[in-house]
Amino acid sequence: MGHRQRPTHGAISDPQSGHEYGKKIRTKRQVELSAVLAANWARLHAARSGLADKPLADAMGVGHGTIARLRAGSHATTIDTVATVAEHFGFEAWQLLVPDFDPDAPPVLDTETRARPIPTPGRKRPKEKVNA
């Protein structure tokens, strides 16, 4: 029996084929959002924090590794983490996912526009109810 390397991040590696089973593959959109979040984190941290990573993480109630991962933009993060960071600074999670976020002029939602479902190919739209 050959020596089996210990897999990283929960993946199981086949030493003969080199294939990793169970490894999470990030989509292009996930990578883009991580980059947007990292850039927005840098702007927010520079404008509002003034704290080093460890004291800031303690104040937010997250691990200091979380702050490092946000800054790097190289790991996926949960929406709960984004919400925790946003709320700490007085914002909503979605605002940190808007490209070119400016902490001094944050994006706002247009609440006057009626939301409509986005059509999905191959899926029929539900008929609108008519009040008689």
- The CA-based angle 96-99-104, given to 5 degrees, is 60
Q: Domains of the chain by range and CATH?
A: 28-97 (1.10.260.40)
Q: pTM, whole model, 2 decimals?
A: 0.61
Rounded CA separation 82/36 (Å): 12
Distance of CA 104 to the CA centre of its chain: 21
Find the radius of gyration of the CA atoms of the chain. Answer: 21
Rounded CA separation 40/85 (Å): 11
At 103, list the tokens: 């902490």
Query: How do the pLDDT tens digits run along the chain, 132 residues long?
Result: 454 444 444 556 667 766 666 556 678 888 888 899 999 988 988 888 777 888 888 888 988 888 888 888 877 788 898 999 899 999 999 999 999 989 999 988 877 666 666 666 665 655 666 665
The residue type found at 101 is: F
